[in-house]
Structure 1
Amino acid sequence: MADWDAELYLLYEAMRTRPATELLEKAVAHLGSRDLEQIVDLGCGPGNSTELLVREFPEASVIGLDSSPAMLERARERFPHVKFVQDDIVNWHSETSLDLIFANASLQWCPDHAYLFPGLINKLRPGGLLAVQMPDNLSEPSHQLMREIAKRPRWQEQLSAASGKRAVIGSFEAYYDYLSPACDLVDIWRCCYGHVLPGPEAIVQWLQATGLKPYLDPLSVADRKLFLEAYSRAVSQAYPRMSDGRVMLRFPRLFIIARKR
């Protein structure tokens, strides 16, 4: 895919960071009084989740990892004292065993979770935590409409692979089976956020920074404009305005915390 747009992503920073905050709170509770030395923020983006980790664990070495140069540039501007590394999550190798791997809204872009998750656990020290949050919204109208519009004759050929860019999130039981052989704790839960936005156009803007990218990136400028127009019309119908004129974006997310035995 083309590089990410850090500034567009940060337009809704507070809402995007809330799940990371809640994931970290639960991770801290599972860690107890343990002192952490080595932490990696996988898919750190513009550094909003990395900031949480640095603030919570000021004595630890925190590294932010992302594949996007634009996101990393923004993160380094915000936090010049933190080490940020450009790498791909799937091919990343840690030089040391880690106390905490934090992955907020990143692993849904990685394939083969049956292989990925045990591999991440192998990078932890005994007692170390893997803390994961993944959008689980492929069945929501916001994403169903992307797939439906991509199947229209004008875009069908160009966008035949777009829906496969994101992994299909598995069941609770599947992730438990991936993690339990090497872990003495596997905590899994699902939460649906209700994001109140100014109007349907804000939903489109939100998703242009994330879920829409695989559909927009392959298109020419002209086709991208037409796709967004068609998608915007569909979103306006699927997300009617509430009594105050605003709209509600339902956003389910899956959370997983696993502790290495």
Structure 2
Amino acid sequence: MKWNPAKYVQFASHRDRPFFELTQRIDIEAPRKVVDLGCGPGPLTAALAERWPDAQVTGLDASAEMIEKAATEHLRPNLAFAETDATTWTPEPGTDVLVSNAMLQWIPGHRELMAGWLDALEPGAWFAAQVPGNFGAPSHALMRELAGRPHWKARLEGLALRKDATAEPETYLRLLLDHGFDADVWETTYSQILRGQDPVLEWVRGTGLRPILSVLGEQDAREFEDEYAELVREAYPPFTGSEGEQLTVFPFRRIFMVGRKGPTG
């Protein structure tokens, strides 16, 4: 599945905020190695390199398109990017900070992967991740419903559009505690204001719709988007703001987890 870096950063102000609210909880002054796993097009990884100028900061992503954009646009002496499959990756010795921002939901069985990473990290290391918690929201429920209708079901057979792509906060809290981490886990629902025509469709084009669009031809993809847009207009009705601009409220729940490995973890 190919990613479009330009589409992904279309809503950067909304997508970036959880990253900074997550990473501000990492309380370490001078890490040696910092890894951003699932770094995307790189601006947030660059922020980590700026925060810790003496650390070796590496952004990893499975998308060649994302890594190409990141390596081209974000050049710092202490920053590097590489294409990596997270399902086969293990933290190197000396990794003091491991960040994963809005990536784990794409990996079935990611909690087992997390367990391996947590075990591999050394005492004193930090782990920080955030994942969407909105897979039961209309934006995703309507997508699954539409994909299951007779007209689309055969063409999308076998495509994983899971309601359980992420777990609840307590599950992540227990996972961190069980692997020797002092943990802080919380959730936030952002009441995001989106602007313009069909903004929920525009939002999910950069993320949730990618698996569907990647297997449909151009004409079918447009037809699916048109049907989906009609459904989400009803679920997220637009209204006119004080200056005549069309606005849509798009609630978005996110789950955050941060932990520091104890001396006997």
Q: How many residues align?
A: 256
Matched residue type, 1:9: Y
Distance 1:133 1:108, change over 3 A: same
* Counterpart residue number, 1:252: 253
Aligned pairs (5 A) from 1:189-204: 189-199=186-196, 201-204=198-201
Kept in 1, the 8 Å contact 2:236–2:249? The answer is yes
1:148-186 Cα deviation digits (max 9, x unpaired): 110111210222333446852212332223221222411
- How many Å separate the matches in 2 of 1:200 and 1:174? 38
% identical aligned pairs: 34
Paired residue type of 1:257: V
14, 31, 48: which one aligns with 1:53: 48
Q: What does the per-residue CA deviation read over 1:106-156, in whole Å, with 9 as the maximum and x for residues that have no partner?
A: 111112133112111123221111100101110111111110110111210
- Give the Cα–Cα distance (whole angstroms) in 2 for the partners of residues 52 and 124 of structure 1: 22
Inter-partner Cα distance in structure 1 for 2:158 and 2:169: 27
For residues 179-194 of structure 1, the aligned pairs below 5 Å read 179-194=176-191
Q: Point out where structure 2 has 5 or more consecutive residues left out of the alignment.
A: none
Residue 20 (structure 2) pairs with residue 21 (structure 1): yes
Task: Give deviations 1:19-60, integer Å, cap 9, x for gaps.
Answer: 0011011123xx3xx420001000000012202211211110
Amino acid at match of 2:198: E
Match of 1:69 in 2: 64
Q: Residues of 2 paired with 1:110 and 1:57: CA distance?
A: 29
1:110-259 alignment to 2 at 5 Å? 110-164=107-161, 168-199=165-196, 201-244=198-241, 245-259=246-260
Q: Output one character per residue of 1:188-209: Cα deviation in whole Å (capped at 9) or x when no partner.
A: 1000112111145121111111
| Equivalent residue letter for 2:208 | G
Please name the residue that 1:106 is paired with.
103
CA contact (8 A) 2:5 2:40 kept: yes
**Alignment RMSD (CA, Å):** 1.6
Structure 2 residue 10 is matched with structure 1 residue 11: yes
Using structure 1 for the length normalisation, give the TM-score. Answer: 0.92
Is this contact kept in 2: 1:195–1:251, CA < 8 A? yes
Distance (Å, rounded) in 1 between the aligned partners of 2:91 and 2:167: 26
Indicate the residue corresponding to 1:37 in structure 2.
Answer: 32
Name stretches of at least 5 consecutive residues in structure 1 with no aligned partner. Answer: none
Q: Deviations over 1:55-109 (max 9, x none)?
A: 2111100000001111111111221332101011111133323100000101111
| Distance across 1 between alignment mates of 2:134 and 2:158 | 18
Deviates more, 1:181-190 or 1:219-228: 181-190
